[in-house]
A and B are shown apart, each in its own frame.
Chain A
Amino acid sequence: MKEKTAIQEFVKGLWDENPVLVSLLGLCPTLAVTVSAINGLAMGLAATFVLVCSAFLVSLLRKAIPNQVRIAAYIVIIATFVTIADRFLAAFTPDISKALGPFIPLIIVNCIILGRMEAFASKNGIGRSLLDALGMGLGFTMTLLVLSSIREILGSGTWFGMDVMWGSFSPWSVMILPPGAFLALGCLIAGANWINNRRKA
């Protein structure tokens, strides 16, 4: 495999290896929290923060951590940053913290993060790991933002809490219910596959 350039390491997470649309990782928070754009954005940014910080530490310590306990070590590192993110959200943006509920603590077991630690940060230098984590995190955030925007606009007729639909529009409640999450995500993934297939052809 050809060595990727630094830019490529960053860009791949946005589309080609997008964690949600292509790798289908981290679907649980993706489906659960995307009822409003602000939730999607907050979840994405919190996960990105955890991803970048953990990638930095894991990459830094990759030679010091014995192979047998690497997963345990990663989990502790990730859990530390998740707790930091959770406490900060609770202290400074209590409303968002309340809306995201248990999904912030559950970032600990988000497979995107553990996956990137195991597959990338533990094998690559700090610079590359940071770029990879940032790309993956932003890819995750973007996808969540798009998904939650679709769901909020169709399901509540608002976007970031502002009315954006015409007056007689009656919200499709199903879009902010769990089935709506599957419908919207299915359409997004189908769209992504369609574009990728056309690009290959």
Chain B
Amino acid sequence: MNNTAKIIIVLTLITLISGAVLAVLDSYTKPRIDAYKNKVKNEAIYEVLPQNVNVTTMKKTVCTNDENVEYEFYEAKKGNQVVGYAFQVAGGGFQSELVMMVSVTPDFSEIIKVKILAQVETPGLGTKIEDDPSNKPNPAWFIDQFKGLKINPEISYVKNVKPSKNTEIQAITGATISSAAIVRILNTEIKKAKAVLLSNGVAEKNEPDKEDILAVLPKNVEIQKIEENDLVIYQASKGNDILAYAFPASCEGYQSEISLMIGVKADFSEILGVKVISQSETPGWGTKIVNDPANENNPCWFVDQFKGVKINSDISFVVNKKPENKSGVQAITGATVSSAAVVDIVNTSIKEAQALLNK
């Protein structure tokens, strides 16, 4: 017994002292570490943007699947005119995460500059994306190729020959995967950044992003497109089993067109998810259908309500109270018209889709 007590006391004391020491140390080193991180980030921002500009930071929160992603944009202004945006992008390379600072022209048509912030690619091969010692006059030739590169329709790379188009770059011999990864990250992340930045403005209308479709479907499914009478339905299957359908829908909201992606179970018994793809509702009121800053825990609570809603009868909505049954949702106070529009279009488009599939 005595020994047990000793064991507990000694171990507790050791861990307590260790914790205290580390807490003191952390309060001393943390400011320095943060300052360094900030310095690196700020230097990168100013490096990729044109010279002599005023930079302001803009934050935007976007709801994806189940989480809220905060994006930071650095807007560069000369006088009153916006001359570019910088933002940080990241993605998987050959063997490490590639983190880059990218700047683009205000219309997102051209890259101004790309700077690599972090990479641990294969030494001597993949690291050439940042520093190629075999090219003495310009070891940064690879990443410099992105200066002034056109983004639309898509950046691509060529191997072993000089690029012939203004959207092309030359990949590094022996590091094709790292080169391709950068091209891929830039393509997807710039588009995403554009969508996020312009999400309160005018959204382009075209093929829905695959990501938006997948967001309302179960994980790990194969998607097949079904098209008939102007209606498009995406069928999600795993093996031979059809699990779910997703379809885009749009309607007139309070002051703008709201377009959604809706996912339902294959037997049309339950909604799997609803995602707002674009809208320009009243800022601060109608925009709460995608982002309600008043609800810090879950700014996308409104559309999240549709998850798991039963479809046996029409979905209804209630104002200022919790929904009573499994086929109701709560409207946003102050944005009843926008909320009602969403509920309405979910109801009608599910019926349309069901009718089309039954035919």
Contacts and interface: CB of A to CB of B under 8 A. Distances in A.
Nearest to A97: B33
Given A66-B3, A72-B11, A87-B25, A155 B124 contact: yes
B264 to A, nearest CB: 44
- The interface residues of chain B, by DSSP majority, are classed as helix
A91 B36 contact: yes
Interface string A40-66: 000000000000000000000100111
A80 B25 CA distance: 10
Interface string B94-122: 00000000000000000000000010101
Nearest to A157: B133
Nearest to B118: A98
Interface in B17-49: 18, 21-22, 25-26, 29, 32-33, 36, 40
B123 interface: yes
B125 interface: yes
B11 A73 contact: yes
A184 interface: no
Nearest to B22: A83
B29 A87 contact: yes
B10 interface: yes
A166 interface: no
Contact of A177 (B32, B120, B122): B122
A161 to B, nearest CB: 12
A138 to B, nearest CB: 25
Given A68-B7, A98-B118, A171 B18 contact: no
Given A77-B18, A84-B22, A91 B124 contact: no
B21 A91 contact: no
User: How many interface residues does chain B have, given as a range?
Assistant: 20 to 34
Given A66-B3, A68-B7, A91-B33, A80 B124 contact: no
B21 A80 contact: yes
B10 A69 contact: yes
B6 interface: yes
A173 B14 CA distance: 46
B122 A101 contact: no
Given A69-B7, A76-B18, A94 B125 contact: no
A66 B9 CA distance: 10
Given A66-B3, A73-B10, A90-B33, A101 B22 contact: no
A176 interface: yes
B18 A80 contact: yes
Interface in A103-150: none
A173 B123 contact: yes
A74 to B, nearest CB: 10
B4 to A, nearest CB: 9
B32 A92 contact: yes
Interface residues of A, number: 29
Given A66-B6, A80-B21, A176 B11 contact: no
Contacts of B124: 155-156, 171, 173, 176-177
- Highest count of chain B CB atoms <10 Å: which of A35, A61, A66: A66
A88 interface: yes
A94 B10 contact: no
B33 A87 contact: yes
A76 B22 contact: no
B36 A76 contact: no
B112 to A, nearest CB: 26
Given A80-B18, A171-B124, A176-B123, A66 B10 contact: yes
A70 to B, nearest CB: 10
A35 B22 CA distance: 30
Nearest to A176: B123
A73 B14 contact: yes
Contacts of A68: 3, 7
A79 interface: yes
B10 A87 contact: no
Nearest to B19: A80
A56 to B, nearest CB: 14
Given A73-B10, A177-B123, A177-B124, A79 B29 contact: no
A88 B133 CA distance: 31
A101 B125 contact: no
B25 A83 contact: yes
Contacts of B229: none
Interface of A: 35, 61, 64-66, 68-69, 72-73, 76-77, 79-80, 83-84, 87-88, 90-92, 94, 98, 101, 155-156, 171, 173, 176-177
Closest 9 CB pairs of A and B: A173-B124, A91-B32, A91-B29, A80-B18, A176-B123, A87-B29, A66-B7, A94-B36, A90-B33
22 contacts: A35-B123, A66-B10, A69-B11, A72-B11, A73-B10, A73-B11, A76-B14, A76-B15, A80-B22, A83-B25, A87-B25, A87-B33, A88-B29, A90-B33, A91-B32, A91-B33, A94-B33, A94-B40, A101-B120, A156-B124, A156-B133, A177-B122
